[in-house]
Structure 1
Amino acid sequence: MEPEPSPGTTMGVEEEFLLVDPVTGRTAPAAGAVLQRAGEHRWAGTGGGFHPELPTTQVEAATGVCRTLAGLRAQLRHGRARLAGAARAEGLALLSSGTPPMDGPSPPFTPGDRFARMAAAYGTLLDGYQASGCHVHIGVPGGGDLAVAVVGHLRPWLPALLAITVNSPFARGRDTGHAAHRMLEITRFPGGGVPPWCASAADHDRRVAALVDAGVLVDATMTFWLARPSPHLPTVEVRAADAAATADEAVLQAALTRGLVRTALTSLAAGREADPADPQLCAAALWTAARHGMDGPALDPRTGRTLPAWDLFGLLLELIAPALEDTGDLTEVRDLAAAVRRAGTGADRQRRAARAGLPAAVGELARHTADGTLTGTPEKQGDDQDEWGACERVPQPDDTRTTEEP
């Protein structure tokens, strides 16, 4: 029998995808048929699986427990390939985008008691809601006070995790002016955004219970916070990222998250508790990341200082460098971040493709979703090099986790 892994060692990722008509680009309510065709996940024995979501236009692929970036990438690509193939067999395409680019009717909800209670609780707030994210789980066995303390350390960095993955500039057939419109949709819900600072697991549970008692959450497993102790697994779950345009970008998000968790664990072991960053600054930083992604200013909630987004990302990498060196993933993470620097974020690439019309952007998204590989484009090279040079003085993230239902 294998020994239980130490905290911050294992990881897993849940990816939410949209099903679209490849001709019109509109979402299609065919989750049931696609999931039936997809069958069982190859890593079902370690937690991998394919699942429905609230709207019938959305499906999820969850990896099993992973310990290496290579293993995680293999599972991510497997999940995407199986779902993309099942979608094609139904005459559809699989799309990894934080929001559907094209306009269309509000989709029906997946049958089930919990989904029905959600629909009853939120009413028209759920009309057309099809937000898709990339959820990362990092193993923190025992949960409780330790998991809550880790989340406290993550709070000020959640906007930076969003900024590098922004991938939802379009919604209802138009450019929203935001790089991550998905975040605006999520933060409409009560208990959304950056979580509050909690002194203990008991404090966390009291806050959740108060929201449930007020009727704004269906149950205690359903907070909308972007980081939380998982209610089902021995993990910390981070849900800041838009649906990753490619599997490589999902790997990068998982590596950054694991690096942050391992860094938090090191700090806590040394007796350094998280500084309770101002909640208004955290909310402002999140909005700024959703608005600009990596192509504008960023707000550091720890200091209240505005700086270029890539400079803030450099500070993040500098912070987690020892954790990444410890796991041997620094070079790969640096390469992945540099590829985003060259190619642009998912939002950048959607907007470039949309110059030929939104259907072209949908087609490009579908190709990258199935392919899973991030490659640079000449259009993003050149005058970015000086800013990226500042980021290169610091390092980059690593890998390994455990999976759960959102």
Structure 2
Amino acid sequence: MLLVDVRNGRPRSVSGQVLTQAAPAAPADHAGPEGSGGGAQGAVEGEFQQQQIETHTPPVADLDTLRTEVRRWRAEAVAAARRTGSNVAALATSPLPVRPVTSRTRRYLWLEDRYQLTAREHLVCGCHVHVSVESDEEGVAVLDRIRVWLPALLALSANSPFWNGQDSGYASYRSQALAKLPSWGPTDVLGSPAAYHRLVGDMVRSTVILDEGMVYFDARLAKRYPTVEVRAADVCFSVEEAVVVAALCRGLVETAAQEWAAGERAPDVPTQMLRFATWQAGREGLEGRLLDWRTGLPAPCWSVLDGLLDHVGPALEEAGDLVVVKEGLARVREEGNGAIRQRAMFAHTGQLLDVVAESVRETARHDER
């Protein structure tokens, strides 16, 4: 999430100060730009740029507890930021102009030196969801089967229409910023843990990336934990959206694991078409058409999302999540996601400061909806 000035809404490079005010961080699987935590406890942590902060929750089994934990750690980040004269905004990019300031750690400085202007411009915030798997074999089988649905998660969560003071024309400009990183994006169908780890090893040995933590796939095996980490979504505008995205991720993983156990083949969709689908999702969000992987053709966005819900519905029902997800999707359909709400506020007032201020208010919400 972004750290912004309480007076003018511009991002502030104060993450170090904020961290001294926050609860101590648990050990984490930290991974560079858009790195994800994943420790056994929740935490507020620093990130690639000093104008952003990361929160992560402990492992939970039900959505009520997840909602409580997401709200708790957003509140912790807000309280710590306010002690430095800052606020927290759950925005995936900054609507107002910003010059990012890289955090002074060895790996982040390596990344800045390696990627130059791409790194110096890079200030984006994502929502990463860890879902447990039994083994690397099951994990890779899951990755091979969920890849076709990840553009739909990006469209649902899109929360970055503005970039450095202007409307980007995209619902998720974060996805465009990420496309500049060499290890970002969808993966091929890999088929086995050996193929997955061979690919990751080849990427590290190439020296284009520093280490395994800089493999920025849309979904990957977590480095230190027995989970699949789904990384496709923008940081969610509201807690409820984050809960829905997490539930859909768990539904996708469980459905994929069951398909693999039943001997069903992974969808044979070319990676290039998934890149097209991701671009389309980032461009259109919930206000246009998405590429439906089943046909390769554009379809109304809610038709594709309804297909996703049908696909994971049995897994959601078994976990007790189906009602929450249906209600959450209905709310997003009525109120809009972050991109829609940001643009609506700007259309209403003509001030990007008001866009940031609305996000600050939503990020600090403590009440149930």
Regarding TM over 0.5, the answer is: yes
SS in 1 for 2:94: coil
1:173 aligns with 2:157: no
Rounded Cα–Cα distance in structure 2 between residues aligned with 1:130 and 1:104? 9
Counting aligned pairs with the same residue, the percent is 37
Q: 1 or 2 for the larger relative contact order (CA 8 Å, sep ≥6)?
A: 1
How far apart are 1:38 and its partner, in Å? 1.2
Contact 1:77 1:247 (C-alpha < 8 Å) held by counterparts: yes
| Match of residue 232, structure 2, among 234, 240, 256 | 240
Contact 2:51 2:100 in 1 (8 A): no
Contact kept in structure 2, 1:180 and 1:347, CA below 8 Å? yes
CA distance, structure 2, for counterparts of residue 288 and residue 263 of structure 1: 25
CA–CA distance in 1 between the matches of 2:27 and 2:137? 31
1:29 corresponding residue in structure 2? 13
The aligned length equals: 357
Cα offset, 1:291, TM superposition:
0.4
> Structure 2 residue aligned with 1:110, among 97, 103, 110?
103
Q: Which amino acid aligns with 1:359?
A: L
Counterparts of 1:126-205 in structure 2, within 5 Å, are 126-142=119-135, 144-205=136-197
Q: Deviation digits for residues 366-386 of structure 1, max 9, x if unmatched?
A: 1011116796xxxxxxxxxxx
The partner residue of 1:56 within 38, 50, 59 is 50
Q: How does 1:35-114 map to 2 (within 5 A)?
A: 35-40=19-24, 46-107=40-101, 109-114=102-107
**Offset at 1:195?**
1.8
Select which of 329, 335, 340 maps to 2:332. 340
Name stretches of at least 5 consecutive residues in structure 2 with no aligned partner: 29-38
Alpha-carbon contact 2:188-2:270 (below 8 Å) kept: no
CA deviation vs aligned residue, 1:163-204 (integer Å, no higher than 9, x gap): 110000000000000000000001111121112221211111
- Asked if 1:123 corresponds to 2:116, the answer is yes
User: What residue in structure 2 maps to residue 223 of structure 1?
Assistant: 215
TM-score, normalization: structure 2?
0.93
Please tell me the residue identity of whatever aligns with 2:251. Answer: G
Name the amino acid aligned to 1:46: A
| C-alpha deviation, 1:128, in angstroms | 2.5
Q: Does the 8 Å contact 1:132/1:182 carry over to 2?
A: yes
Deviations 1:29-72 (A, max 9, x none): 10011111112369999321121111111111110010000000
CA contact (8 A) 2:13 2:50 kept: yes
**Structure 1 residue 316 corresponds to structure 2 residue 295:** no
* In 1: Cα distance, 2:232 partner to 2:368 partner: 20
Gap change, CA 1:228 and 1:26, over 3 Å in 2: same
Moved over 3 A (4+): 40-46, 372-375
- Answer yes or no: is the 8 Å Cα contact 2:44–2:55 preserved in 1: yes
Please, which runs of 5 or more residues in structure 1 have no aligned partner? 1-16, 376-406
Q: Structure 1 136/275 Cα, relative in aligned 2: closer, same or farther at 3 Å?
A: same
Q: Does 1:274 align with 2:266?
A: yes
SS at match of 1:371: coil
Distance 2:367 2:338 in 1: 12
Distance in structure 1 (CA, Å) of the matches to 2:140 and 2:179: 21
Name which of 342, 346, 354 aligns with 1:354: 346
Rounded to whole Å, the distance in 1 between the matches of 2:115 and 2:88 is 27
Task: Show the counterpart of 1:400.
Answer: none
Is the partner of 1:188 in helix, strand or coil? coil
Alignment CA distance shift 1:351-1:370 (3 Å): same
Alpha-carbon distance in structure 2 between the residues aligned to 1:228 and 1:372: 32
Counterpart Cα distance in 1 of 2:24 and 2:206: 39
| Post-superposition CA distance 1:136-164 (Å, at most 9, x none) | 0000132x221111001111000001111
In structure 2, the residue matched to 1:210 is 202
